[in-house]
Amino acid sequence: MTGVEDRVIVVTGAGGGLGREYALTLAREGASVVVNDLGGSRDGTGAGHNMADQVVDEIKEAGGRAVANYDSVAEPEGAANIIKTAVEEFGAVHGVVSNAGILRDGTFRKMTFENWDAVLKVHLYGGYNVIRAAWPHFREQSFGRVVVATSTSGLFGNFGQANYGAAKLGLVGLINTLAQEGAKYNIKTNAVAPIAATRMTQDVFGDEIQRKLAPEFVAPVVAHLCTDEITETAAVFVVGGGKVQRITLSQNPAVNFATPPTVEDVARRWAEIVNITSTEPAVLDIG
């Protein structure tokens, strides 16, 4: 088997924007797709079936295979039902694209706990819930592909998005650990930070930039990360506007102390510690 042909892929938040394009692309490439969408508004309120149903209709009209699911990823029970839909409809689940998300922007000073919690529940807990529900299937069949939607707001920061940025970078920490735990089961876990024009970004990007950033530039990368051929894991990609870039951590040469330093010792060598004119890929080394 090559590509995603005859694989079963769950795409959350697939009723519009990037998620819709992911689902359409995966279906065109031969995957059976679970199109999950709660059908709510951008801030997570409300619900409905129309968005997911329309994407499923598009896929079927083009000769593809798809089924709709309307559960919320924010609750473990909803996530379990999403995976149950895949198994009952198509007999298996081979991949998860964790894309569902909401926005409740505001400066940190004004951000309420309700808005902080709501965003983390959908993005971070939602990612955990769906991947956790699929994980036993991945282990049992010695195959799984996970793609989480991270964000440049988490990687680089973005004014007014402390909740969103924290949730999105939390997903990178999740896939880093899952890459280690899933290695012997042929489970690959990666992240994509999309830069694209959707209803989620209509207040972030200006009109001119919005026009240049079609979701169609991002979807092929996400689909490729779901294929059998992928060997990368724990990788993060920034994708949008025709550019695909891998983002990695880097480190400068270590400043070493033979004995526990004083505060003055650290201050004296601070210029060396913060110097990043020479860097290399970061590795965990405490030797």
Q: Which residues are the active-site residues?
A: 164
The whole-angstrom separation of Cα 193 and Cα 210 is: 16
Closest to 124 in 3D by CA, of 79, 168, 76 = 168
**Residue 10's CB: how many other CB atoms inside 10 A?**
30
Read off the tokens for 75.
């609750």
Map residue 240 onto helix, strand or coil. Answer: strand
Rg of the Cα trace of the chain? 20
| Residue 214 vs residues 18, 26, 138, 198, 209: alpha-carbon distances, Å | 9, 17, 32, 8, 10
Map residue 136 onto helix, strand or coil. Answer: helix
The whole-angstrom separation of Cα 152 and Cα 43 is: 19
